[in-house]
Amino acid sequence: MIKGNLLYEGKAKTVFETDNPKELLIYFKDDATALNGEKHGIIEGKGVINNKLSEFFFKQLKDRGIKSHFVEKAGEREMIVKRLDMIKLEVVVRNIVAGSLVKRLGKEEGTPLTVPVVEYYYKSDELGDPMLNRYHIMALDLAKIDELNQMEHVAFSVNNILRELLKAKNVDLIDFKLEFGRFDGEVLLADEISPDNCRFWDTVTHEKLDKDRFRQDLGGVVEAYKEMLDRLTL
């Protein structure tokens, strides 16, 4: 595999072409942003951990019938993925109130939701990723109804699978964000699954083991990412 032209430089990842037109190389960086890009920092070693955790989660999901863009890990910070036509949506699933839901619903952080909730956000930096409903998504032609149904089905399946996996490691899955893309007529799970885009709390102590430690200046950020990797893979 040859690392080709830089295709896209994101906040936490860089994407390169490869010698295979149907595959890309993702490079996981240590950079972290929060508050719509206003806060920036480096979490030393985060890229290595997120690459390993994403590989772990994508493999576990594949074993349970969930297809993703993941092809193989290709280095400490590199992952080979299928080249998708990305759908410009963030699909968020929530089990427990946290983050932006605290203000929106006026509920205390940590309040359980009686059923898991799915939300859609428009991936648009200039608009600040506004929340959309199914009608907005169809009106903007971001996805077709059957694609939306597929994404929602996969999102809830991922929720069930991850909750089970994490429960065995004394971790509660509070919420997470997924992204999807099209490949040969199919909708596949994309992006990464890591403490950058999930909220993980210790079941007993409710200690935060995710990017909220960076967002909220709680300290022990790398330690929390490392703790998640150790609990899941050691």
User: With respect to ligand 5GP, which residue has the nearer C-beta, 18 or 143?
Assistant: 143
User: With respect to ligand 5GP, which residue has the nearer C-beta, 147 or 192?
Assistant: 192
Closest CA to 225 of 175, 177, 212: 212
Footprint on this chain of ligand 5GP (rule: CB under 6 A): 90, 92, 98-101, 175-177, 196-199, 211
User: With respect to ligand 5GP, which residue has the nearer C-beta, 82 or 94?
Assistant: 94
User: With respect to ligand 5GP, which residue has the nearer C-beta, 68 or 197?
Assistant: 197
The strand pairing partners of 188, in sequence order, are 181
Give me the least distance between CB of 2 and ligand 5GP, in Å please.
Answer: 29
Rounded CA gap, 66 and 50, in Å? 19
User: With respect to ligand 5GP, which residue has the nearer C-beta, 13 or 82?
Assistant: 13
Give me the least distance between CB of 22 and ligand 5GP, in Å please.
Answer: 26
CA angle 25, 48, 98 (to 5 degrees): 100
To which residue do tokens 């709390």 refer? 201
Rounded CA gap, 187 and 127, in Å? 25
Give me the least distance between CB of 205 and ligand 5GP, in Å please.
Answer: 19
Contact 61, 50 (CB under 8 A): no
User: With respect to ligand 5GP, which residue has the nearer C-beta, 186 or 217?
Assistant: 217
Rounded CA gap, 101 and 160, in Å? 21
Give me the least distance between CB of 197 and ligand 5GP, in Å please.
Answer: 4
Buried b (16+ CB within 10 A) or exposed e, 219-233: eebeebbbbbbebbe
Give me the least distance between CB of 223 and ligand 5GP, in Å please.
Answer: 18
Q: Which residue is nearest to ligand 5GP (CB)?
A: 99
Give me the least distance between CB of 123 and ligand 5GP, in Å please.
Answer: 8
- Strands 78-82 vs 39-42: parallel, antiparallel or unpaired: unpaired
